[in-house]
Structures are given as C-alpha cells and as structure tokens.
C-alpha cells in the first residue's frame, strides 16, 4: 500500500474522547501518529476544500467529529473504524482532487470504505477517479435535489460535475442514478440527457410516496454522493442551507443506512457541507455517518454473484418475448434481483451488472406483462 499519510493533517487535538463511546474504539490520526491501515473497515476523511463551492467565509469545521465520537456503537459493529484526519488542500484544487483520488484508490484496494466528508460535490469526481485503477465499470448514485450536469468545457464545479464524469477517458461509468430530484431544479435538456443515457431518476415526490423506489438504486451503487444541501432548511441551519423543500433529517439518515447495507458500495461521500453551519447541522452530519456505519455492519452479503443456491428463482414469460425474465429473491434478506443477459464475448466486463437490484413491484409488473424499467435500461447499456 502506498503511503497516503502525506496527504493528511491530524484530527483537531481539542476534540475529546469518552470511554465506552465510538471515539475510544477508533484508530484516529492524532498528533503525529497516523494509524496503520491493517484491517478492512471504514475510514472517515474530512476534505476542507471549498474553492469550487459557493461558500464564503470559509473555515475548517470538525465539530461533527465531537458528536460522532460521543455516540455509542451499534450492537453488530465488528469492523475496524479509522479516522484518518483531514486531507490537506493543495496549492490548486486539482492537487486536492488528485490527493483524494489516490487516498480512495488505496483504501478501496484494502477493503476499507472511505466516508468522505467534504467541501464541494465536485469531489465526487475525485472519488470516482479513485476507482480507475480497479479498471471495472461502476455505478454512481447522487442523493441530490439537482442533476448537477454542468458543461463539459466549463471548470468542474460543485453544482456542475456529472458531465466531467462522462468525459473521463477511459470511461468506467456504467450507470448514474439521482435520488431526490426537484423538477424545478433541472432543465428539460438535463432530464432528456439522463433519459438518452438510460440513467435513473427517482424524484423527491416519488421517494416521499414510496421509499422502495429508491432502495434498488442504492443497492446497485459502488459510489454514493450525498448533497447535504438537499435537506430542507427547517431541518438544520436556515442560515447556511436555504432550500424550503427537500429531505427530512430522518429520511437522509434512512438513505445513509440503506447505502451502508449495499454489498456493492465501496465509497460514501457527504458534500456541500457548509463549514459555517451550526451544531444542529454538525450533529445531523455525525448521525448520517453513524447510520451508514450501522448499515455496513448489518450487510446481508447476499449479492447474487456465483452460486445462487440460497435464492428462490422465478421465471416470468412475457408476450412477444423469446426468453423468460428471470428474478431472484434472497432467502436471507427477501430482497429481489432480476437477470439481464450481457452480450456474448463481453466476459467479465459486465458480470457485476448482469444482476440488477429491483423490488417486488417489478416482479408483479412482469407478471402482468409489464417490462420493468430498470431491466430495459440495463439491457440498452449492455447492448
């Protein structure tokens, strides 16, 4: 493993640690003692980089750590927890992104899940680049009120970074999903682009009506990027977060928990975290991290790759289709997947994307001769 300690500064020494709380069990970068990363687990990383975000009076704010350290561990937590400190902002924002990409790459290779708490959501691009060394297609999911596509010829910005993911060469992006879109925050051109690329959108209204609409997208993701500004202002700090509409605090915690439960997920980020926020917002941020860790600790480990003995298999015949649609239901978690065959000769390139997370509604729809939207979109990307 490369030495990643050169990219970090230690956690604020003023942050206290209490006995029998999370902080007492963490391997924390304090003083000059950078923790040895010798076991799989979860690593907290703070990136105080705001040069691409519309935030004024910038200062570093680690108060979320004081709240996180004071929480109790969950019952099932057996993994190693690290807090690697703060990624040092580089001379340029490109230097910071390079450093974060290197850190994410090294941690993922060691089966350590980075939890990146940071500045602008453009740091999602840096996290994505951390997967390039793995040379495998990945899925990204943004929990966000906007699509943040931006223009490919413009500098990467916290509110315009998705186009830069699409422009990376070689491109390892297989799918991009958005959860929480508020339609007034996206142009028709952006919505059309998502449709043409067979990307997924779960609007805020759909989510509010039925959380199950969002869960398969979370379960299908390698990298999840949360825009903290997608919270409604009444939930946190109205001075820093001004949207009158958005997610409730408990909804975002629920999304964090289900993100952690995803067997595929290798990196989780919470961005556009305003360093001027009050303690209520910092407390909520710490709770998001707690629920994510609790999700990881309670993973079922039942993503259906390889042997499928512990699954109930369903064949559904649709009119005008030569082949049946094949669904799998896990005996362990009761979660559903559907099989989409990839082209002959593609080998392992598409193996991780052949089994598409879905829910019971997709199976019920197929029984009524309705092709599941997720199945159709995946087939288009595989073809």
The pLDDT score that the predictor gives to residue 41 is 98
Strands 80-87 and 8-9, sheet pairing: antiparallel
Q: Which one of 297, 326, 358 terminates a domain?
A: 297
- In this structure, the answer to whether residues 291 and 320 fall within a common structural domain is no
Q: Total domain count for the chain?
A: 2
CB environment 97-132: b (16+ within 10 A), e (fewer) = bebbbbbbbbbbeeebbbbbbbbbbbbbbbbbbbbb
State yes or no: pLDDT of 345 exceeds 60. no
Residue 198 belongs to some domain of the structure: yes
| pLDDT at position 55 over 80 | no
The answer to whether position 326 is within a domain reads yes
Shared domain check, 357 and 219: no
The reply to whether 236 falls in a domain is: yes
pLDDT digits (tens, 9 = 90+) for 109-151: 999 999 999 889 999 999 999 998 788 889 999 999 999 999 8
pLDDT of residue 284: 98
Model confidence at 344, in pLDDT bands (50, 70, 90)? low
Domain that includes residue 332, residue range: 311-382
CA–CA dist 185, 148 (Å, integer): 9
Strand pairing of 138-143 and 223-227? parallel
Its pTM stands at 0.95
pLDDT tens-digit map of 80-111: 999 999 999 999 999 999 999 999 999 999 99
Classify burial at 320, counting beta carbons within 10 Å of its beta carbon; exposed 0-12, middle 13-18, buried 19 or more.
exposed
- Asked if the bond preceding 170 is cis, omega within 30° of 0, the reply is yes
Say whether both 127 and 220 belong to one domain.
Answer: yes
State the CATH number of the domain containing residue 234: 3.40.800.10
Please, which pLDDT band fits residue 322 given cuts at 50, 70 and 90? confident
For residues 153 and 198, state if they share a domain: yes
Q: Say whether pLDDT at 64 is over 90.
A: yes
Kindly state whether residue 267 falls inside one of the protein's structural domains: yes
For residues 281 and 340, membership in a common domain is answered with no
pLDDT category at 348 given cuts 50, 70, 90 is low
């Amino acid at each position: 493993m490369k030495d990643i300690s050169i990219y970090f500064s230690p956690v604020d020494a003023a942050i206290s640690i209490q006995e029998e709380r999370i902080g007492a069990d963490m391997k924390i970068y304090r003083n000059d003692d950078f923790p040895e990363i010798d076991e799989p687990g979860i690593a907290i990383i703070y990136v105080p980089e705001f040069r691409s975000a519309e935030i004024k009076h910038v200062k570093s704010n680690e108060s979320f750590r004081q709240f996180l350290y004071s929480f109790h561990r969950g019952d099932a937590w057996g993994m190693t927890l690290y807090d690697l400190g703060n990624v040092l902002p580089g001379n340029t924002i490109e230097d910071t992104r390079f450093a974060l990409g290197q850190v994410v790459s090294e941690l993922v290779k060691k089966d350590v899940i980075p939890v990146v708490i940071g500045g602008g959501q453009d740091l999602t691009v840096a996290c994505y680049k951390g997967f390039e060394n793995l040379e495998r297609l990945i899925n990204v999911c943004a929990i966000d009120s906007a699509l943040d596509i931006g223009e490919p010829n413009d500098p990467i910005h916290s509110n315009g970074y998705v186009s830069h993911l699409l422009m990376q060469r070689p491109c390892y992006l297989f799918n991009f999903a958005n959860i929480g879109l508020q339609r007034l925050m996206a142009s028709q051109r952006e919505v059309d682009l998502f449709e043409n690329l067979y990307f997924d959108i779960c609007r805020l209204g759909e989510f509010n009506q039925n959380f199950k609409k969002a869960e398969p997208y979370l379960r299908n993701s390698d990298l999840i990027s949360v825009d903290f500004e997608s919270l409604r202002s009444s939930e946190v700090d109205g001075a820093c977060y001004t949207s009158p509409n958005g997610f409730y605090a408990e909804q975002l915690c629920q999304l964090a928990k289900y993100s952690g439960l995803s067997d595929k997920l290798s990196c989780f980020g919470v961005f556009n975290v305003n360093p001027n926020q009050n303690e209520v917002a910092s407390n909520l941020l710490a709770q998001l991290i707690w629920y994510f860790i609790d999700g990881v600790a309670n993973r079922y480990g039942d993503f259906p790759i390889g042997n499928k003995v512990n699954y109930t298999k369903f064949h559904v015949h649709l009119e005008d289709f030569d082949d049946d649609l094949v669904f799998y239901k896990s005996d362990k978690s009761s979660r559903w997947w559907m099989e989409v065959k990839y082209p002959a000769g593609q080998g392992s390139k598409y193996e991780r994307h052949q089994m598409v997370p879905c829910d019971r509604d997709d199976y019920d729809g197929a029984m009524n001769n309705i092709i599941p939207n997720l199945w159709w979109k995946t087939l288009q990307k595989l073809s």
